[in-house]
Amino acid sequence: MDDFLDDGVLLATHRDGVPLAPEHGFPVRLVVPHLYGWKSVKWLRSVEYMVGDRRGFWEERGYHNRADPWNEERFSHQEDPGAGPPLR
């Protein structure tokens, strides 16, 4: 939730005053710049509030659950043992 509410995070519908084109995320795109943009969503369809963490599509395929660029968190093998939700 802290990442979603960060000052730099955007739910974008326009770029430079022009509505987003389908290839750029129309109708709404999530932009999370402080996480390399890795956790950004090009075509946002819904927002789900969860009380616990679970791995998403890319995290299930080996990407880091947090993806903090300042800590070079790229892949799940870099996570500390027990950090983040288990892989399914």
Q: Which domain holds residue 77?
A: 55-88
Number of separate helices (H) and strands (E) present in the chain: 0, 4
Domain count, the chain: 2
pLDDT by position in tens, the chain (length 88)? 888 899 989 999 999 999 999 999 999 999 888 887 666 778 888 888 888 888 888 888 888 888 888 888 888 888 888 887 877 7
Is residue 87, in this structure, part of any structural domain at all? yes
Residues 40 and 59 in one domain: no
**Of 47, 46, 41, 65, which Cα lies nearest the Cα of 55?**
65
Residues 39 and 71 in one domain: no
pLDDT value, residue 38: 66
Is residue 49, in this structure, part of any structural domain at all? no
Residues 34 and 70 in one domain: no
